[in-house]
């Protein structure tokens, strides 16, 4: 399992999720989201899901949700402790998007960058914020890069 790229895990996790569409929820504090929610703005358009899956194994939290715009968003972090973490570069924190045409955009060791902040972690529940730029790593759908901003999550693992 450890031989797979972080983004590959995020993309695969997203494939097993049930789709749930929505728009902005008006909530700005991640602790006020419903448990199992991920929301963000992708390329300037609100994106959300209230059906998200999170797994914590081998010291890594991996979460994914499928939502509006037919996009699956994934997050991976080698920590569940509160703090700010750099996305991309070193591979310990990653973000990804995948569409139904099997195009994948990633912020991981392959490129892209951003931040993920865990604001609360207790009793197998974690919440926080994120933003990142992802670059296309698989498939041919345009664009070459995508912007994910104003991201918030509240997940149980």
Encode the chain (157 residues) as per-residue pLDDT tens digits: 444 454 444 444 444 333 333 334 455 789 899 999 999 999 999 999 968 999 999 999 999 999 988 899 999 999 889 999 999 987 799 999 999 999 999 999 889 999 999 999 999 999 999 999 999 999 988 899 999 999 999 999 9
- Please give the structure tokens belonging to residue 118: 């865990």
Query: CB–CB of 149/45 below 8 Å?
Result: no
Query: CB–CB of 22/50 below 8 Å?
Result: yes
Three-class DSSP category at 88:
coil
Compute the distance between CA of residue 10 and CA of residue 49 in angstroms, rounded to an integer.
15
pTM: 0.81
- Please give the structure tokens belonging to residue 130: 């994120």
Residue that the structure tokens 């797994």 belong to = 55
Compute the distance between CA of residue 84 and CA of residue 91 in angstroms, rounded to an integer.
15
β-pair partners for 126: 121, 155
- Please give the structure tokens belonging to residue 50: 């209230």
Q: How many CB atoms lie within 10 A of CB 82?
A: 14
């Amino acid at each position: 399992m450890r031989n797979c790229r972080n983004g590959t895990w995020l993309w695969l996790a997203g494939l097993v999720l049930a789709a749930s569409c929505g728009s902005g929820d008006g909530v700005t504090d991640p602790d006020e989201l419903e448990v199992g929610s991920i929301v963000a703005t992708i390329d300037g358009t609100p994106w959300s899901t209230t059906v998200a899956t999170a797994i914590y194994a081998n010291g890594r939290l991996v979460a994914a949700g499928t939502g509006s715009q037919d996009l699956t968003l994934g997050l991976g972090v080698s920590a569940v402790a509160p703090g700010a973490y750099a996305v991309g570069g070193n591979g310990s924190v990653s973000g990804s998007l995948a569409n139904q045409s099997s195009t994948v955009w990633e912020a991981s060791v392959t490129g892209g960058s951003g931040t993920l902040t865990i604001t609360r972690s207790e009793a197998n529940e974690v919440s926080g914020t994120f933003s990142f730029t992802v670059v296309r790593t698989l498939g041919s759908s345009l664009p070459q890069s995508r912007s994910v901003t104003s991201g918030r999550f509240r997940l149980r693992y």
